[in-house]
Structure 1
Amino acid sequence: MATIYLSLGSNVDREASINACLTSLHKAFGSIELSSLFDSSSVGFEGTDFYNMVVKVETTMALEALVVFLREMEYAHGREPDAKKFSPRTIDIDLLLYDDVICDSPAQLPRDEITFNAFVLWPLSELAAEQKHPVNGKTYGDMWAAFDKSSQQLTKIPLTWTVPKEVKHL
């Protein structure tokens, strides 16, 4: 069983897109743990604000199969297959960590955004504060404590997803 962390983001019909994705993840994986939900400005392009969060999941899927599965889930939730990297999207699902695997293919692990995007690091630190980054050896809690919080503004907002009772939510 592998422990994985997924970063979710949406800036198109944000609330409905995040809620629909959470429902799909719950159906696919069963019990999931959720960070807080954050409102953040677009990074890398001019666009409407995003909703972002991190989800912790346990899976028996092999890494290669998981990457394909997550991409198909994005498409099922309205993401365009030819969407540019920095563009509006209904849902973006990024695999941040797959246990302590370090690789560049079929996905970059650990995902480099962990170290420089507040909208990834803050919610990840909520779920895995004591866990160590497999490359730099620092805990996510320590990384968030040292992060320049003036560089990216985030606002915690209420999550409206109807949480099944077996889902743990911070």
Structure 2
Amino acid sequence: MALVHIGVGSNINKEVNVANALQDLDIMFDNCRVSSIFESAAVNCTGDNYYNLVVEFTTSLSITALMQCLKDLEITHGRKATDRRYAPRTLDLDLLLFDNVIQSESPVLPRPEILYHAFVLWPLAELAPDLCHPESGMTMAALWRDFDKSTQVLALAQWQWPAITELV
């Protein structure tokens, strides 16, 4: 079983889309844990603010099978294959970490955004503070501690998934 971390984002009907995605992920995968939900301005695109969070779970799927599963889930929740890369999203599911796998081919692992987007690193550090980044060897808590927080505005969202209220 692989320990997996995925980033979840939405800026279209975000409470509904995030809630539905979390319900589906909990049904599909074992030992799901969810970070707090954070709100940030859209990065590299226009549109409403995003909700972002990280989900951790275990799976026996291969990376390829997991990526297809995540893509299918995005489509189920209204994402279209024709959507522009930096367009508003009903649901965005990004594989951040798959155990300690390091690979440069698609999907690149660990996902580079971990190190430079607060909306990825903060929820990851909250959920798995002692988890080590496969390349740097630093814990997520240490990476977040050293992150330049003055460059990106990020805050806890007013709406939180009921299963995570004990983390907030």
- Structure 1 37/168 Cα, relative in aligned 2: closer, same or farther at 3 Å? closer
Where do 1:81-160 residues align within 5 Å? 81-160=81-160
What root-mean-square deviation, in Å, do the aligned CA atoms of Structure 1 and Structure 2 show?
Answer: 1.6
Matched, 1:33 2:19: no
User: How many residues of Structure 1 are paired with residues of Structure 2 in the alignment?
Assistant: 167
User: 1:82: how far off?
Assistant: 1.8
Of 47-56 and 101-110, more deviation after overlay is shown by 101-110
Q: Return the alpha-carbon distance in structure 2 between the equivalents of residues 100 and 30 of structure 1.
A: 18
> How far does residue 160 in structure 1 lie from its aligned partner after superposition?
4.5
Runs of 5+ unmatched residues, structure 1: none
Alignment-derived partner of residue 43 in structure 2: 43
Q: Distance in 2 between the 1:68 and 1:169 partners?
A: 32
8 Å contact from structure 2 (residues 4, 56) kept in 1? yes
Query: Residue in 2 aligned with 1:20?
Result: 20
Shift of 1:116: 0.2
Please give the alpha-carbon distance, in whole angstroms, between the structure 1 residues aligned to 2:136 and 2:20.
34
Does the 8 Å contact 2:37/2:161 carry over to 1? no
Opposite residue 39 of structure 1, the aligned amino acid is E
Q: Distance in 1 between matches of 2:156 and 2:165?
A: 17
Select between 90-99 and 138-147 the one with higher mean Cα deviation: 138-147
In structure 2, do the counterparts of structure 1 residues 126 and 101 end up closer, same or farther at CA, with 3 Å as the change threshold?
same
For the residues of structure 2 that align with 1:160 and 1:145, how far apart are their CA atoms? 24
Distance in 1 between the 2:97 and 2:111 partners? 7
Sequence identity (%): 40
Q: Under a length normalisation based on structure 2, what TM-score does the superposition of the two structures give?
A: 0.93
Q: Is the 8 A contact 2:46 2:88 kept in 1?
A: no
